[in-house]
Structure 1
């Protein structure tokens, strides 16, 4: 490749670091003053009109969340305040990298986004069908997604682009292993698990915070498509998952998921991190169940199909920043980036007042001083469009989130832990959990696209497999030889 010119912002200002966001301490959170990150994400959100930049192909349905177990010691959120209580929900499933016309059965993570229409406002749990992700810093998200899209020269999907990125980003290995396993092509949306993926927090009535991971375990059982069946269905029925979901609900076969959590205090996470060397807020990692067991919370059921796909599924606008009192965030850098990027994307894609649309509007009363702009359906009438300042101080009203301050650690800077962090153990653990047949499928699924890329990329990627588990690298080498690619 030719020498790349100096990277700059759109205003021509040289970029000193395009690998690491500016954070308060090595674990974050991120700082709004990082203009390069903000500009990069804002431009990325505006690259496509009008479909979503990612998660463009999707399906959705309404349902209910029912509380089955008491977690009020951890959160004051009112949707959990009584066993048996039900909250209306809307769920959107999706593929990630493809366009709106792409096939439902492509090898791709699946989005699993849930809106809870609570009495205190909308809570959006925006996750995937995997508990981890490819990268740990949002400044690399536009770069990563570009590799999953189309080559700017050929307008074709490119295995070279994908593996060039992954082979230089060993942090991606955990998710790459999941993606090319059998779970990379789930059999529709009903037969897969869901995850909040990020670390979030819960706040109780005393203002005490614990950290939480959300899990949704399908009651229908896990089912996956073979690589051959996924390709066949992509040609015969590219809307396979959409059809399956709509038909199941129309026939009264309502899909359900058990909602569970992993919970840990900051002190417990500090001790675990000291023992393992893993950052508990790193999205490329998971919290092992042996260390943080799952606890039951409730059941999610989908029982009503939308009346109009565009008005409801296409225009639904999620954001992980939507957290009701009793719910909170964490220093997870990817979560911090998504809290900005999702809302910004909806402002661009749907409009300034997208929250006024029925699928996005809260089911509880709401009031703010936001006025005017496109689609101002609820424009405040003759109510004041400003809030006065209380010269005597605001004081504590007891309303809202009411969470205590979050301690920050370290000086503001761009922290690069690559090269010192363990990107291999958890990927190896996932590999070792697979059956012999699942491992063979993994090897074959990886070998097909790897056989299309240059030898230097193959060798870099094989090196990562070797570090995760020697049998992992050996298996992929053997599968490549079957395809006529000798990599010894």
Structure 2
């Protein structure tokens, strides 16, 4: 596709918009028709003999309408069924020509359109967003050379080393087949039975039991390509590469107690958050990072790059950020875009190639095979959301749902009747040339010795977490294994944990009422190695963009101070919601009406990142006597969130049993220092959580009763 620099962005983005618009229905000025375009004069009554007579079979509109309704549902994805998507664009910062010939990584002035789908893995389409699970992070790049699908997760490793085990791990993680329970959860016997018998799962088990499995939002979640890919430059030089997505807002998590509450209060929490952020203009952004490893140096790392249960620590090979992904538009139809989008690991462009990772090799087949069933045949690439920007010319034809018409007599290659077209593409014309690699060996079902280490990186991950994150991981293991009824499974899992970390094994054993297993010595496991990049505590904490702050009010509130803080927070990209006992408005201290954003009956602290208690003695008195308000504040404190409290609002803290001088509690004790208070409160919110408070296990499970 030829274009100049000055208009490259417009042409490229508009091309995808036009493709999607072909199937988009806009209501203005249109008339109801059948699928064949015949006008419909009535769609409320069937064609019948007399007002009470039988319906006639000749009513073609009735038959079409009901038939289409009967077949509206397609099979949901076997995994990643629960998802949300958005459109956006990607721009590279500087040309990466030295690393890869992929054109979308060459010109910083070009915006490459993308569609991104986030998802959970285990649950069905109707499950909740906030379950403990891996999250999918799949990006479809509509490049000038065809579609490139980077199909990854929010964790850099996976449970298994070879794709032949994929059906087993998914079957084990899904609801147990004899009673189809539990939904969207791994806290059951079959999952833990499987992982206890397959030691290679241990590293991924650590990630899944960590706070990484409970993201605050899709906008604050890292993404990883999981596998080792290849970059190939124009000279044919190959380098290994691992892909990372780094959220500009930093990576942050919920806590398990919040997740369980949100699953009931708002099972669409992550989906709604993504949609509302884009609609409000708070565009999610992620930087694309790469770890590039020269092939000659790969063996010196001491890490098997073809093993998807291993990562390369960022301290060993730094992540270079080479571009930015921005999500700027929500889908216009969830089904036609988010549901029908088809990601295939095999979709690559010249300059990006595969490796012999045995899990990747299976995914190259599996994803395409899945789409054939889910989307009704081989023509899913004709759907607008999947259609590449570049013209498609080949001899593939017919089949269910064919949307494109192949013109001419010749549907084979080579041919002379069609002038030899379409002709083969050379490498210089954008043809994909696989990397030339020498391979050889005995044909056998074997696995290399370099894949045999199952504990060193699991231990590295656990030791790299902060004390709070380790405590959360241990509690998660206690919760999950507490749902397992088979004692032999408990014992096998504890045996593996003993090879990862002695403290981990002992603490989990205590929660299960079992003796701590004997310490296990594993030669490959170092007791000291850590990777600070693995801890969420070390992520970005300098912004409050898109953070949600709840302001609890009652009649007599100091609206002037409230609106001043709202202005200060919103100038930094945060949102403040006024919450009262009812919708409408409440009268402030001056008798003027203050609009209420949310009724306390319909919300909870788990939906917010921080809480503000504005001044006004009458307002604070009412809130202090309100059990719901006390619970709101107490719960936010227990979850480590920032609390901003006016001078009068300190009384509400005391009613909740919260010390006003606790970490993350910002009390406005000096009147007239509104700017200083707003600044301190913003800094407290930016830290995400304040786990340096007193041990939350010693904090009461409910606020004091007045």
Say yes or no: does 1:149 pair with 2:174.
yes
Does the Cα contact within 8 Å between 1:203 and 1:403 map onto a contact in 2? no
Q: For residue 296 of structure 2, what is the aligned residue in structure 1? A: 267
Structure of larger gyration radius: 2
- Where in structure 2 are the equivalents of 1:294-333 lying within 5 Å? 294-333=319-358
Does the Cα contact within 8 Å between 2:230 and 2:240 map onto a contact in 1? yes
Q: Return 453-462 or 341-350, whichever deviates more.
A: 453-462
Cα-to-partner distance string for 1:418-472 (whole Å, 9 max, x where unaligned): 8971110101000001111111111111011212322211111111111112122
Does the Cα contact within 8 Å between 2:353 and 2:435 map onto a contact in 1? no
- Where in structure 2 are the equivalents of 1:232-311 lying within 5 Å? 232-272=261-301, 276=302, 278-311=303-336
Does the Cα contact within 8 Å between 1:443 and 1:475 map onto a contact in 2? yes
Deviation at residue 479 of structure 1 after TM alignment: 3.1
Task: Name the CA distance, whole Å, in 2 between partners of 1:65 and 1:206.
Answer: 25
TM-score (norm: length of structure 2):
0.59
Q: For residue 456 of structure 1, what is the aligned residue in structure 2? A: 488
* Runs of 4+ deviating beyond 6 Å: none
Say yes or no: does 1:70 pair with 2:95.
yes
Task: Name the CA distance, whole Å, in 2 between partners of 1:419 and 1:373.
Answer: 45
Cα-to-partner distance string for 1:176-229 (whole Å, 9 max, x where unaligned): 101111111111211100011111111111112111100001111222111111
Say yes or no: does 1:357 pair with 2:387.
no
Does the Cα contact within 8 Å between 1:450 and 1:458 map onto a contact in 2? yes
Q: Return 436-445 or 77-86, whichever deviates more.
A: 77-86
Structure 1 pair 363–168 and aligned structure 2 pair: CA distance change class (3 A): same
Task: Name the CA distance, whole Å, in 2 between partners of 1:128 and 1:303.
Answer: 21
Q: Which runs of 5+ in 1 are unaligned?
A: 1-47
Q: Return 458-467 or 122-131, whichever deviates more.
A: 458-467
Q: For residue 472 of structure 1, what is the aligned residue in structure 2? A: 504
Q: For residue 95 of structure 1, what is the aligned residue in structure 2? A: 120
Does the Cα contact within 8 Å between 2:137 and 2:223 map onto a contact in 1? yes
Deviation at residue 476 of structure 1 after TM alignment: 1.5
Q: For residue 401 of structure 2, what is the aligned residue in structure 1? A: 375
Task: Name the CA distance, whole Å, in 1 between partners of 2:393 and 2:425.
Answer: 20
Say yes or no: does 1:431 pair with 2:471.
no
Deviation at residue 383 of structure 1 after TM alignment: 5.6
The secondary structure found in structure 1 opposite 2:242 is strand
Does the Cα contact within 8 Å between 1:69 and 1:296 map onto a contact in 2? no
Q: For residue 13 of structure 1, what is the aligned residue in structure 2? A: none
Does the Cα contact within 8 Å between 1:480 and 1:487 map onto a contact in 2? no
Say yes or no: does 1:129 pair with 2:154.
yes
- 1:414 is aligned, of 424, 445, 450, to 445
Cα-to-partner distance string for 1:250-273 (whole Å, 9 max, x where unaligned): 00000000111001122211232x
The secondary structure found in structure 2 opposite 1:414 is coil
Say yes or no: does 1:168 pair with 2:193.
no
- Where in structure 2 are the equivalents of 1:194-209 lying within 5 Å? 194-209=223-238
TM-score (norm: length of structure 1):
0.85
Task: Name the CA distance, whole Å, in 2 between partners of 1:294 and 1:412.
Answer: 37
Q: Return 469-478 or 356-365, whichever deviates more.
A: 469-478
Q: What's the C-alpha RMSD, in Å, of the aligned pairs?
A: 2.1
Q: For residue 442 of structure 1, what is the aligned residue in structure 2? A: 473
Residues matched between the structures, number: 433
The secondary structure found in structure 2 opposite 1:59 is strand
